[in-house]
Structure 1
Amino acid sequence: MKPTPRHEKMTQYPVVDNELQIGGIPLTRLAARVGQTPFYAYDRRLITERISALRETLPAAIHLHYAIKANSMPAVVQHLSGLTDGLDVASLGEMKTALDTGVNPENISFAGPGKTDKELTAAVAAGVIINMESAGEMERIANIGNTLSIRPRVSVRVNPDFELKTSGMKMSGGPKPFGIDAEQVPGVLKRIGQLELNFRGFHIFSGSQNLRPEALIEAQTNTFELACRLADAAPSPIQWLNIGGGFGIPYFPGEKTLDLTPVADNLNTLLDKYRPKLPQAEIVIELGRYLVGEAGIYVSKVVDKKISREETFVVTDGGLHHHLAASGNFGQVIRKNYPVCVGNRVVSDKMETVNVVGPLCTPLDILANKMELPVMETGDLVVIFQSGAYGLRASPQDFLSHPAPIEVLV
């Protein structure tokens, strides 16, 4: 098997004196400040710059929300709460984190199948928008509202009859646990009109991690058309329309940064076309990975190095229990390497092809497979880029009971 080509250095992180910097801090100094490896570090400057770029590109009428599931570190959420127009949550724990930021509950939405009565009660009491995933959930919310003498704020999460093509994870089209099938929505809307519910609108989320503008354009166009069609059956005018997100980031060689210009142009067209039909609607784009994914790194330290049947293995103190996605076990069909570098010696004349592995007793614990990197020694710092989203909290942290990593926002 031929070795995987070495990834180019992620240009958003400067290299000074051959050492990676994050947040303007040399990596070895940051590691000393953190006090341990492994750790995640998130760069607030890069997050802020991503939001600014979106504001400049997307239509001014678009409300930008952060999907906390991408990275729920409280400091990251707090930072984003001051840059975006709202927060989207998928659990009671995430809702508490969102409320702690001081964001108006009316700008928080709660989605996800299988919400418990405890979660629904807390959401009704808090006054957030609950994206209803089923007719049964709707009835439970209405009963809870009656008990609390509160008129719950709700929207209908729609499972449309289309999907976001070429997306990393398809969230719509066909049978899905997410949302109410579009053909069933008119009946649900009629029932909403009979209940003491404060109907706000629709949540239509088609898929994630898409790098093709034409696919996003098609999905957004279909979303507006569907929302307008369903609005005819709504018990009151649409106040809120969450059209999802799906904006992807490049992870692997050959992938290109998403060109948002045609997407923004199409959104301007859609807003002009459908504004007469949705005159009161706040249009929301909900993004997670796109806001934080490229602003984070995962850092582990080399603890051992060995040769096994002519292959070199570099063993670090980090692994899939902290970064499942980088190991290839979080949605990849064919495993590919994330961008990796030796952070304390980014460039070297002496290179070698190595397998970077973690300390776990499983052959799945691979952070880089047959990758050309500078010759490493014990104590070197291995950096995995594109780690700001779906890193720590999407990983089996308790597997084999190794110590937890630390997260820092710099």
Structure 2
Amino acid sequence: MASAEGKVRSRPQHVGQHNFPVVDNCLHIGGQPITTLAERAGDRAFYAYDSSVMSQRVTELKAQLPSAIQLHYAIKANPMPAVVQHMSGLVQGLDVASGAELAVAIATGTASADISFAGPGKSDADLRAAVAAGVIIILESSTEMHRVAALAGETGTLPKVAIRVNPDFELKASGMKMSGGPKPFGIDAEQVPEVMQVLANLPLDFVGLHIFSGSQNLRPESLIEAHDKTFDLALRLAEQAPRPLRWLNIGGGFGVPYFPGEQTLDLKPIMHNLQRLVDELLAAMPDVEIVMELGRYLVAEAGLYVCQVSDKKVSRGQTFLITNGGLHHHLAASGNFGQVIRKNYPVCIGNRVTSDTLENVSVVGPLCTPLDILGERMPLPAADIGDLVVLFQSGAYGFTASPHLFLSHPPPLEFLV
């Protein structure tokens, strides 16, 4: 890598770029040049999602997934209504984490029995909407269980419920650990038998369990270990359930590579092990529906975030590309959404993808904070005002995971192509 003042001769390679062709040195998405979408966006930064990449990912996954496992899309990864509508036609169900997401899910026409609603701290309005819709409500606490039972009494309905279990193990090496130890998510595994005994006497239709241990994992051995423990725990808890399990959500956790050195997740050993576990579970409980819930894995690599260079300056030997985007649009890329040590997302100049001459630059946004960084000291083709900076791997936890109101700049647009 060259010094800040110098230039290097090379061709940059980017994680995720294989999904998007380059024609006449311009990045294309959905069969059109990125510059065409930029014209539609005017002076606004934007996200663009390629529906064909999403479809291909689901097709490839289903080809290896045990046939007895139902694939659900976790809307929280990308709740854009057009994206959810597209995904609903590819998967067997949807998982939501808010009343607003529930409304989006219902609008797709997905059957209520194939929609589940998880998340701690559901409001009364959330629970009323879930009961009215007839979806599976994932109980996160005994208090929530009694609240749903009270609504059942008021409405004369029999809500479908499942218990979210906080297991006594975690998904090792995951980006976000959501189990093991004290957690706000679910009911501790050792407390579940007692809660199920109480549930047996309430006006609730108990369908099963939700066991989710972590996300963004790229290590097959970690996922295999977590799956082994998940199925074992499910079998043990099923023995103490008030009625036979009809539904088991084993979560997801499949990761995608973002940074140099990370490799695409090898599915083969994971799926081989899952087939064994599924066969054993169905031998014991032949009527149970097994659900795998994935979000990021299905949509992250289908998305781009695009912003425009509005200024270029050199400060004490370091070159900065200042853009109309930033952390208020893409918090994860700025490094402020869970990264301990900030790393660069894969970046390119969309309208001049390759060049024999690269500059070492930092890409920043317009905000008055040193945290507003999209790329730090990266070798990129020499760019100027008006050029397009593109961040790959941006289809999940981008638009809705970012603080759009921070400093009151315009929010980004979204396109599904």
Q: 1:205 aligns with which of 193, 212, 236?
A: 212
**2:66 corresponds to:** 59
- Is the Cα contact below 8 Å between 1:3 and 1:372 reproduced in 2? no
* 1:8 Cα offset (Å): 2.8
Find the partner of 1:23 among 19, 24, 30: 30
The match for 1:289 among 282, 285, 296 is 296
Contact kept? 1:3, 1:370, Cα under 8 Å = no
Cα deviation for residue 349 of structure 1 reads: 1.8
Separation in 1, partners of 2:3, 2:88: 42
CA contact (8 A) 1:322 1:395 kept: yes
CA distance in 1, matches of 2:328, 2:72: 29
Q: Which residue in 2 is equivalent to 1:8?
A: 14
Aligned partner of 1:80 in structure 2 is 87
Say whether 1:239 aligns with 2:246.
yes
Counterpart check, 1:331 vs 2:348: no
The equivalent of 2:139 in structure 1 is 132
Higher mean C-alpha displacement, 31-40 vs 108-117? 31-40
Task: Please name the residue that 2:398 is paired with.
Answer: 391
| Per-residue Cα deviation, 1:205-252 (whole angstroms, up to 9, x for no partner) | 000000011110110110010001000111111000000000000000
2:407 maps to a residue whose letter is L
Pair 1:278-2:285 in alignment: yes
Alignment-derived partner of residue 360 in structure 1? 367
Change (3 A) 1:3 1:228: farther
Taking the aligned partners of 1:34 and 1:282, their CA distance within structure 2 comes to: 44
Q: Spell out, residue by residue over 1:157-203, the C-alpha distance to the aligned partner (whole angstroms, 9 max, x if none).
A: 00000000000000000000000000000001101110010000000
Please say if residues 197 and 241 of structure 2, whose CA atoms lie closer than 8 Å, have aligned partners that are also in contact: yes
Whether the 8 Å contact between 2:311 and 2:323 is mirrored in structure 1 is yes
Structure 2 counterpart of 1:355, which letter? S
Q: Which of the numbers 302, 322, 326 marks the counterpart of 1:315?
A: 322
1:60-94 C-alpha deviation (Å, 9 max, x unpaired): 11100000000000000000001000000000000
RMSD: 1.3
Q: Is the CA contact (8 Å cut-off) linking 1:210 and 1:216 kept in structure 2? A: yes
Identity %: 64
2:287 maps to a residue whose letter is Q
CA distance in 1, matches of 2:355, 2:278: 52
Structure 2: distance between partners of 1:111 and 1:3: 49
| Aligned residue number for residue 96 of structure 1 | 103
Name the structure 2 match of 1:188.
195
Residue of structure 1 equivalent to 2:151: 144
Tell me, in whole angstroms, the C-alpha distance in 1 between the residues paired with 2:210 and 2:265. Answer: 23
- Residue number in structure 2 paired with 1:37: 44
Any idea what the Cα deviations from partners look like across 1:116-165, whole Å, max 9, x if unmatched?
11111111111000000000000000000110100010000000000000
Q: Which amino acid aligns with 2:372?
A: D
* Cα distance in 2 for residues equivalent to 1:2 and 1:396: 34
Query: 1:36 & 1:294 partners in 2: Cα distance?
Result: 25
Per the alignment, do residues 170 and 3 of structure 1 end up closer, same or farther by CA in structure 2, a change over 3 Å counting? farther
Q: Is the 8 A contact 1:301 1:380 kept in 2?
A: yes
For the 8 Å contact 1:296–1:385, the answer to whether it is kept is yes
Shift of the 2–184 alpha-carbon distance from structure 1 to 2, 3 Å rule, reads: farther
Do the aligned residues in 2 keep the contact of 1:3 with 1:371 (CA within 8 Å)? no
Q: TM-score, normalized by length of structure 2?
A: 0.97
The number of residue pairs the alignment matches comes to 410
Residue 326 of structure 1: SS of its match in structure 2? helix
In structure 2, relative to structure 1, the CA distance for the partners of 1:36 and 1:44 (3 Å cut) is: farther
Partner deviation per Cα, 1:305-341 (whole Å, 9 max, x = no partner): 0011110011000000000000000000000000000
In 2, Cα distance between equivalents of 1:33 and 1:45: 21
Q: What residue is the counterpart of 2:7 in the other structure?
A: none
Distance 1:259 1:65 in 2: 20
> Hey, what's the Cα distance between the residues in 1 that align with 2:397 and 2:334?
12
Rounded to whole Å, the distance in 2 between the matches of 1:279 and 1:3 is 63
2:257 paired with 1:257? no
- Structure 1 position 29, deviation (Å): 1.4
Residues 44 and 410 of structure 2 are in contact (CA less than 8 Å); yes or no, is this contact kept in structure 1?
no
Pair 1:119-2:100 in alignment: no
- The aligned counterpart of 1:214 is 221
Paired with 2:379 and 2:208, the residues of 1 have a C-alpha distance of: 51
- Whole-Å Cα distance in 1 between the matches of residues 236 and 13 of structure 2? 47
Amino acid at match of 1:278: M
Shift of 1:2: 7.6
Residue 375 (1) aligns with residue 361 (2): no
